[in-house]
Amino acid sequence: MKKRELGKSGIFVSEISLGCMSLPNDKEKAKAIIDTALEAGINFFDTADLYDSGKNEMIVGSLLKEKRDDIILSTKVGNERIAGEDGWRWNPKKAYIMEAVKESLRRLKTDYIDLYQLHGGTMEDDASETIDAFETLKKEGIIRQYGISSIRPNVINRFLKKSNAVSVMMQYSLLDRRPEEWFSMIHDEGASIITRGTLAKGLLTNDGLVKADQLNGFAEYSTSEMKETVKMLLEETANLHATAIAFNLQNEAIASTVIGASTKEQLLDTILAYEADVSQSDLKALENKLHLHKYQEHRV
């Protein structure tokens, strides 16, 4: 498993990272997935305090505590749950972040977080206050680096230009190329991209047509366009799963692609796909056949 640097942080993460949101609540089943990831050389594990009301962090922490010095651990903050109420509210204020990180540390069974990410963001936020919280946590040694998880171009642009963020997590795949417009800006600001949604809800696997029947369109694709595009991709590729991963990792601005797995077998499929050969010429040919949409919202 190759590794890439997150921005200019000195932190090197595996090209495939494990998105822990999909881990089962059954600890033994989750352990089988975590162990498979570690055996494959995956060192980057991503969770969030929002996932399953913090229970996901607890599972991840308990399963990785013995490997803490060997792995890169990432979690997110910004979605505050209200005691006794369903749902959550957006809260990027410093006071909340400074308290929330303590709870994440407790659940994760660690005394530091490698990458702490703002889990969203709006143009109405006081970005300077949020950044001050992260910088304070860095100085205190509670976090090593910080980033933002967002698909909103204006939010990302402002956050990067005002901060020392090393990463931006965003949805990106063969079927959602909207972020490409911002790759150069992110790279020029010294940050790396962490992609999620790489397999587009399973559309970019060899079972893509089965998944297409279960979805009502995807990203900017209508239902019919989505099905036609997935059919074309399956016809044009020997291994769509492998092609989807290789497509994301071909860009130097991308440090890692987050892949979720709810079973050991799903993760093994991804590892095999990562190890498969995909030619650059085949990837380039596909680019010319796929739409390059642009975000229509969240723009000045």
Supply the residues annotated as catalytic. 51
Q: Which residues pair with 72 in a beta bridge?
A: 44
Q: What are 186's two structure tokens? A: 């992110």
Which uninterrupted H or E stretch holds 43? none
CA 151, 153, 154, 160: dihedral to nearest 10 degrees? Answer: 90
CB 248 within 8 A of CB 172: yes
Phi first, then psi: what are they for 245, rounded to 5°?
-70, -45
Beta strands 113-118 and 88-90 are unpaired
Residue 217 CB coordination number (10 Å): 13
Q: How far is CA 111 from CA 12, 105, 288, in A?
A: 20, 6, 47
Phi first, then psi: what are they for 214, rounded to 5°?
-100, -5
Q: How far is CA 141 from CA 53, 63, 67, 89, 115, in A?
A: 25, 23, 19, 28, 12
Beta strands 44-46 and 192-196 are unpaired
